[in-house]
Structure 1
Amino acid sequence: MRIVTLNLNGLRSATSKGFFDWLPRQEADVICVQELKAQQGDIHGIMRAPNGYTGYFHCAEKKGYSGVGLYTRRSPDQIMEGTGIPEIDAEGRYLRADFGNLSIISLYLPSGSSGEHRQAAKFFFMEHFFPLLQSLAGCGREVLLCGDWNIAHKEIDLKNWRSNQKNSGFLPEERAWLSTVFDELKLVDVFRKINPAPDQYTWWSNRGQAWAKNVGWRIDYQIATPGLAGKATVASIYKDERFSDHAPLIIDYDFNP
């Protein structure tokens, strides 16, 4: 089972950069995407149903903003849109597909980098989403949460960690929250389980020469229940082409739901 996750930084933008030419070649079973920046009426043709896949989307109420999606090769048993928390669901940040005993979720945490009001929204999300994470961790199903969490967990997960300790995405409170997800809920950072190496990033600022110099952040994750995480075999970050300011995170699992 191959799972891909990517923050598109705009579905239409990624389409114009060749994302849907690349996608079929990956032979992925499920592709989780975030930051659609599109409404349902904007999503048509190859964006809705790329070759061999069916797309499902949870869009934000605000135009040109947020939104998450899933592309699947086989039909899910059910699709669950939203968390049930109105303030979160208005921004289109959670979409779940069930296949047998497996749940795959496309998830997009808020960024707090644009100002204090957005950091407050991020803290609201973290507080109110945590009980749902608890229930997912203890539900008896295998669960995989894929997406842009907008938090670099440890110093190894961003190049300039010293200068970012007071910046959104690497605040002590954010990192501690993510530690609780791993340590108390026993959910697993699958990429880091397989690859302990430094300089592995999934997002680069458009400022300076961050991409060319690999001055990045690892803020995109596949986070799984322990049983599924133990089935992961290969993890990679695809950087040969650019469809976004993020890179696709690809993980293979020896698992058949």
Structure 2
Amino acid sequence: MRIVSFNANGLRSATKKGFFDWFGQQDADIACIQETKAQEHQLQGADYRPAGYGAWFRDATTKKGYSGVAIYSRREPDEIITGLGWEDFDEEGRFIEARFGNLSVISMYFPSGSSGEVRQGYKFRCMDWITPILEQWLASGRDYVICGDWNIVHTRRDIRNWTSNQKNSGCLPEERAWLDKLFHEHGWVDSYRHLRPEGEDYTWWSQRGQARAKNVGWRIDYQVVSPGLRDRLVDCAIHPEPKLSDHAPYVVDYRE
């Protein structure tokens, strides 16, 4: 099973840049998209509906052209869930879950706090709110693959400029400590770090300056899996080329 996670920074824009042409070459079973930045009715044309895949969306209702998540799948899900029960989070179009038997595949777009204190405070509230939900998922006995832009780096290997970003959203000690707890205490598995213990690859680059050309990046896009899937992780790849967004698609292969 091959799963793609991709923050499109606007799915219409990424499509014009060749995302679905690239996707058609990946032989993927599922694609989890974040930041569609569109309403579902704007993504109905053949350009957005690759042959052989169904598509499911959760748009933002708070502001059009903002956020939004989607799942494309070869197999019809048994169930689609588009919210977690907190309106502030759900209505920003940040969560969609497809269930296939005992497997849940989630496309999640975690908030950024880079615009200022208000949004950083909201991000911290989201971290506190979702922690017991993540614990419930682990206790449920289901297998989970949580794809998405988490907007947090975890370790020094996940960001080029570690020291200078210690006071910036996405690299704050409190944010990284939260990931520490998820990965090292709760048992969630960072698929990339499991498969690439020494890897120093990035999935996002600022659009300012020459960040991408100089590979001054951050790894903030993950496929986080429940412990039962650890031994089914086979391989992974980050695809910075072709340039489809300010993020790169992240692809993981799972043993069936």
Q: Is 1:13 paired with 2:10?
A: no
Cα-Cα RMSD: 1.0
1:184, CA displacement in angstroms? 2.1
- How far residue 127 of structure 1 moved from its aligned partner, in angstroms, is 1.1
Confirm or deny: 8 A CA contact 1:39 1:64 kept in the other structure.
yes
After superposition, residues 98-247 of structure 1 pair within 5 angstroms as 98-247=99-248
Distance 1:73 1:27 in 2: 10
Contact 1:48-1:54 at 8 Å conserved across structures: no
| 1:45 counterpart letter in structure 2 | G
Q: 1:198 to 1:252 in 2, by over 3 A?
A: closer
Aligned-residue offset at 1:196: 2.0
Aligned to 1:97: 98
Q: Is the 8 A contact 1:20 1:46 kept in 2?
A: no
Deviation (angstroms), 1:13? 0.5
Aligned to 2:41: 41
Distance 2:98 2:104 in 1: 6
TM-score (norm 1): 0.97
Does residue 56 of the first structure (1) align with residue 60 of the second (2)? no
CA distance in 2, matches of 1:241, 1:157: 21
Partner of 2:250: 249
Instruction: Give how far 1:76 is off.
Output: 0.4
Aligned letter for 2:3? I
- In the other structure, the counterpart of 2:83 is 82
Paired with 1:180 and 1:68, the residues of 2 have a C-alpha distance of: 26
- The offset of 1:25, in angstroms, is 1.1
Do 2:77 and 2:99's aligned partners in 1 also have CA atoms closer than 8 Å? yes
- Indicate if the aligned counterparts of 1:58 and 1:92 stay in contact, CA closer than 8 A: yes
Q: Which residue of 2 aligns with 1:29?
A: 29
Structure 2 unaligned segments of length 5 or more: list them.
none
Cα distance in structure 2, aligned partners of 1:234 and 1:51: 26
* Per-residue deviation, 1:132: 1.1
**Structure 1 residue runs of 4+, over 4 Å off?**
none
Could you tell me which amino acid in structure 1 is paired with residue 16 of structure 2?
S
The 8 Å contact of residues 77 and 97 in structure 1, kept in 2 or not, is answered as: yes
The amino acid of 1:4's aligned partner reads V
* Unmatched segments (≥5 aa) in structure 1: none
CA distance in 1, matches of 2:46, 2:137: 32
CA distance in 1, matches of 2:91, 2:65: 13
The 2-side partners of 1:16 and 1:186 are apart by: 39
Question: What is the distance in 2 between the residues matched to 1:192 and 1:198?
Answer: 7
- How far apart, in 2, do the equivalents of 1:145 and 1:15 lie? 23
* 1:18-39 residue CA offsets vs partner (Å, 9 max, x unmatched): 1011111111111000011111
Q: Which moved more, 1:187-196 or 1:43-52?
A: 43-52
- The two structures have a TM-score, normalised by structure 2, of 0.97
Contact in 2 for aligned 1:7/1:246 (Cα 8 Å): yes
Structure 2 CA distance for partners of 1:47 and 1:106, relative to 1, 3 Å: farther
Letter in 2 for 1:220: D
Q: Which amino acid is the alignment partner of residue 59 of structure 2?
A: C
